[in-house]
Amino acid sequence: MDESDTAAILPGDVLSATSTGDQMSNSVGRKDEPDVPTTGSVRPPFTCSLPVSVEPVLFLSMFSLALQAPLSTQYLWDRISEDLGYNGTKRSECSNGSVTPDPLQKEVETLTAHWNLYISLGGFSVGLLVVPFLGSWSDLAGRRPVLILPNLGLALQAVVYLVVMYLKLPVVYFLVGRVLSGLSGDFNAILAGCFAYVADTSDRRSRTFRVAVLEACLGLSGMLASIIGGQWRRAQGYINPFWLVLATNLAAALYAYLFVRESVLPDPSTKLLTTRHHKAVWHLYSTGGSSSEGGGRFHRCKLWLYTLCFFLVVTVHFGSRELYVLYELSSPLCWGPALIGYGSAAQHLAYLSSLLGLKIMQRCLEDSWVALVGLASNITGLVVFTVADTTQLMFTGYGLCFLFMAATPVLRSKLSKLVDPSEQGTLFASVACVESLCFLVGSGVFNSLYPATLHFMKGFPFLFAAIILFIPAGIIGTLQCLDQRRDHRESTTS
């Protein structure tokens, strides 16, 4: 069934059982359908009068993740330093290079980086298997379980981290907590559930903006957590901030249980542990999904091409973001904590400016052209970062990137519109796994490229990132031109 045949619903409306229920069991209801009695698994105990649905869930989950990530790295640094007997501190000021590096500090840095890698890979490898299960399962069993279970898993991870800190257990137990979180789907399952929920409860016209609102939630919660986490850790250490991490995850799960209404009609006979869910992911990308009847090959190509665009754009975002602080700390910028904080705030404010710009541009431009404007903003900012040798020039780059987040919500929306309503969970679970892969690839490539190119061009990784972004820009522009030509041909023949 084509997605345009169904109207959007307000968050929380549920499809009632009608004579056509067998054909539309995983679609969303219509705005004009009255509420009907539903089971307790569909309707939450309370209703929320605010015009929000899953945005608070994503905000709280991202807040806890952004709060704990730098704190856990710093804790690993301190614990490994204590175990090795290293009493120095990590230098953050500019150095003239005449000071002999401490070999013990280098060992601490190496071990900290390795443990960070082990912990990230542990969560990623487990989540790569679990998230497709949960995403495809949510298409049949409902979205609410996929919003609740991963938050409980993240809360369990926070409990393990707290036990390690209180008892000063070996840092290998951090890996145990990360794997336990991965078994519940981790943050990627929450991403998949939230974006699939928005796809369920929005029409084709409003979907891009609704997705952009979720993207803005990610940026704002990350900025708030970064500000709070650093100050709190300096004032009270690690343990109290991790209690907030635990409380935030529990609050997200509780909100999803109490206030988020189901957006699909659950099938009580659906099983979680079955190969059917992984087969659904294979079917989606091998055939183009259930909605590709009649033009399957071109439809499938578009699905793969937009996924490739998403991979490249997000890899550049993750990879370049990890270099900003390192670039600003060293010569010739030599920024201190205050300027670095302002730069981070400017970067996160771009989430809001991108949201506003997207809303304005949608009045006169197609989504694809909005994405190209966002990519152009990102490219020009990266080119300026390449040659930035003064504070003014660096902030000019941040200013030029004010629309850099306009491309990713468009790509998510494009992918969502290519698949059937009954495949939204499967799609966004796949996209969430791609996003995790983007983090690993971006971190590995750009952190390796930066030291390798220092001898001839310090800002070369930013130039490399700008060049990479021309690939998705070309793909998006070409597909949009092909779609317009096809629409024009169909209108003239009819």
- Give the CATH number for residue 154: 1.20.1250.20
Residues 175 and 231 in one domain: yes
Q: Is residue 288 in some structural domain?
A: no
Q: Is residue 281 in some structural domain?
A: no
Residues 171 and 248 in one domain: yes
**CA–CA gap between residue 362 and residue 369 (Å, rounded):** 9
Q: Is residue 41 in some structural domain?
A: no
**pLDDT score of 270:** 76
Extract the tokens encoding 182.
């991965």
Domain boundary among 241, 264, 287: 264
Q: What is the pLDDT along the chain (494 residues), one digit of tens a residue?
A: 343 343 333 333 433 333 333 333 344 333 333 333 333 345 677 666 655 689 999 999 999 998 888 888 888 888 888 888 887 654 444 554 445 556 787 788 778 878 887 888 888 888 888 888 888 888 888 899 999 999 999 999 999 999 999 999 998 999 999 999 999 999 999 999 999 999 999 988 899 999 999 999 988 888 888 778 877 877 888 889 899 999 999 999 999 999 998 888 888 777 777 777 767 788 788 877 655 544 567 788 999 999 999 999 999 998 888 788 778 877 888 887 678 778 887 888 888 899 999 999 999 999 999 999 999 999 999 999 999 999 999 999 999 999 999 999 999 999 999 988 888 998 999 998 898 899 889 888 888 888 888 888 989 999 999 999 999 999 999 999 998 888 888 788 76
Residues 71 and 209 in one domain: yes
Q: How many domains does the chain have?
A: 2
Residues 186 and 58 in one domain: yes
Q: Is residue 38 in some structural domain?
A: no
Residues 114 and 64 in one domain: yes
Instruction: Encode 398-408: b = buried (16+ Cβ within 10 Å), e = exposed.
Output: bebbbbbbbbb
Residues 312 and 461 in one domain: yes
Contact (CB, 8 A) for 163 and 229: no
Q: Is residue 483 in some structural domain?
A: yes
Residues 259 and 303 in one domain: no
Residues 207 and 125 in one domain: yes
Residues 162 and 249 in one domain: yes
Q: Is residue 337 in some structural domain?
A: yes
**CA–CA gap between residue 74 and residue 369 (Å, rounded):** 42
Q: Is residue 93 in some structural domain?
A: no
Domain span including residue 382: 299-488
Domain boundary among 264, 283, 316: 264
Q: Is residue 259 in some structural domain?
A: yes
Residues 215 and 339 in one domain: no
Residues 206 and 349 in one domain: no
Contact (CB, 8 A) for 350 and 402: yes
Residues 242 and 314 in one domain: no
